[in-house]
Amino acid sequence: MEIQVNGQRREFPDGTTVEGVLEALGTAARGVAVAVDGVVVRRGEWPEAVVRKGASVDILTAVQGG
Amino acid sequence: MDGDHLVIGEHKLSSRLIIGTGGAANLAVVERALVASGTELTTVAMRKADADGGSGVLELLRRLGIRLLPNTAGCRTAAEAVLTARLAREALETDLIKLEVHADDRTLLPDPFETLEAAEQLTADGFTVLAYTNDDPVLALRLEEAGCAAVMPLGAPIGTGLGIRNPHNIELIVSRAGVPVILDAGIGTASDATLAMELGCDAVLLSTAVTRAADPERMASAMRAAVTAGRLAASAGRIPQRFWAHASSPPR
C-alpha cells in the first residue's frame, strides 16, 4: 500500500504500524514525534497504531532555530 | 545577582538570557556561543526528520545541560501551531513552548488573532506557553489572561537587528504584566539587550544577533554582560534626568 511520509509517497506492506514505518526508514526513535493525518500518535501507541492506505504520516524532530 | 531567578510557570532559571540556535554556520559555533552566553534555556525549531534523525542540536543541548524551548516558527495558523506544539511535547518531553504564528514571510510579524487562539488552546492543554507577540500592551494583557506563562514582545521584526523601536510600549507592557516579559526579536547589539532590561523586562531572547555576528562567541559574552548590567541598573534606582548641569564637585 502507498502512504505519504513527510510529503513523499512510499510503499509499505498492509498492516504496517507507525513503529514499522520508523524502522523501515531507519529514523532514530529518540527526539522524534509522529502525526498521522494531523493527529499526534503518542510514543506508547506506535507498536499498535496501524497506518491505513493513503494516510499522511509526518515525522518531526528538533533542528536549529530561533 | 545571586538568588535572582527567572520563573516561567514551574521552570526556574538563573540566567535571564535565552538564546536561539538559528542562523549559525555550524554546531561548533553554536556550542561556543551557548557556553559563552551562560544560557540555561535555548530554542529549537521542529522540522521533518531525515533518515538520520536530525541535525545533532538535541545531542548538543543535552550534553551542555541546557533546557529546550521548542518553537512553532513557520506556522501560519493556530491549528498548525497547536499541532506543532503537541509534536514538540511528544518528541522533546517538555511542556514549554515558544508560540509564534507569523503573518507573512516579509515581516515575520506575529498574527495576533491566530496567536491568541492558539494560546487559549495550548494553555487549556497544559502547555507552559511563552507567546511571541507584537509590542502591543493590549494584546500582551489578553495573552496573559489566556493563561500564557510569559509574554514576549518584539523589539523589532525578527532578524532586523533594529533594536527596540517603541521603548514606551515595552514599558507599558512591563508595568501591567503579571507574568514575565521577555524581549524577543530585534536585538542587534549589547546595548539593545541592556535597554530591554532597564525598561523592566525579565529576560531577553535573541538568536541572530549572536549567531550571525562576525564573532558569535564574543557577542554571546557581550550579551551575557549586557543582560546582567541592565538587570542591575533597573533595580539600582537611576538618577533623574535634568535639563541643566548639576555639579558633582563642591563649590570653590
Residue B105 identity (one-letter amino acid): D
* Ramachandran class of A54: left when φ > 0, alpha when ψ lies in -120 to 50, beta otherwise: left
Q: For A7-36, write each residue's pLDDT tens digit.
A: 889 998 999 999 999 888 887 778 899 999
pLDDT in tens, B50-65: 655 456 888 899 999 9
Mean pLDDT, residues B214-229 taken together? 97
CA distance B132 to B172: 17
Q: What pLDDT sits at residue B52? A: 53
Q: How far apart are CA B70 and CA B137, in angstroms?
A: 25
Per-residue pLDDT of B227-244, as tens digits, reads 999 999 999 999 999 999
How far does CA B115 lie from the centroid of its chain?
16
Distance from CA of B12 to the nearest CA of A (A): 21
Strand partners, B153: B133
Q: What part of A 37-56 touches B (C-beta under 8 Å)?
A: 38, 40, 42-43
B19-41 residue pLDDT tens: 998 888 888 999 999 999 999 99
**Residue of B11, B16, B98, B102 marked catalytic:** B98
pTM, two decimals, is 0.90
In eight-state DSSP terms, residue B145 is H
C-beta neighbour count of B162 within 10 angstroms? 15
A45 to chain B: closest CA residue: B90
pLDDT digits (tens, 9 = 90+) for B174-214: 999 999 999 999 999 999 999 999 999 999 999 999 999 99
**pLDDT > 60? residue B42:** yes
Taking alpha carbons only, the member of B80, B230, B156 closest to residue A38 is B80
Report CB contact under 8 Å: A33, B23. no
Q: Which residues of B touch A30 (CB under 8 A)?
A: 53
Enter the ipTM: 0.86
On whether the CB atoms of residues B98 and B118 are closer than 8 A, the answer is no
Shortest alpha-carbon distance between residue B206 and chain A (Å):
8
pLDDT of residue B1: 57
Cβ distance of A32 and B92 shorter than 8 Å: no
